[in-house]
Amino acid sequence: MKQCTHADALPHPEPVPLSETCTECLALGTHPVQLRLCLTCGHVGCCDSSPGQHATGHHKDSGHPVMRTFEPGESWRWCFVDHVLV
């Protein structure tokens, strides 16, 4: 089973969210389906089911490896680099 090689390097505590929604969607007038929080810098972006896929875009632009769901009642994390749940 493949494991994440990036989770141990994440900041503790995790970063404060920079916004309460996907600001890129807000600027474009689109609606995010679900939100994701970058665990390196606190960027909040929309999921891949959203039109803009801004969380994945943030990873591609920044190289930040791990995000977590920013949805109430959920706590899973995803490593974009290793393609595994953390």
pTM value is 0.94
Q: 9 pLDDT band (50/70/90 cuts)?
A: confident
Q: 1 pLDDT band (50/70/90 cuts)?
A: low
Mean pLDDT along residues 53-62: 98
Mean pLDDT along residues 37-61: 98
What is the second-level CATH architecture of the domain 7-85? 2-Layer Sandwich (3.30)
User: Does residue 3 surpass a pLDDT of 70?
Assistant: yes
Mean of the per-residue pLDDT values of the chain: 95
> Where along the chain do its domains lie?
7-85
Mean pLDDT along residues 44-49: 98
State the DSSP string of 21-64: S-HHHHHHT---SSEEEETTT--EEE-TTSSS-HHHHHHHHH--
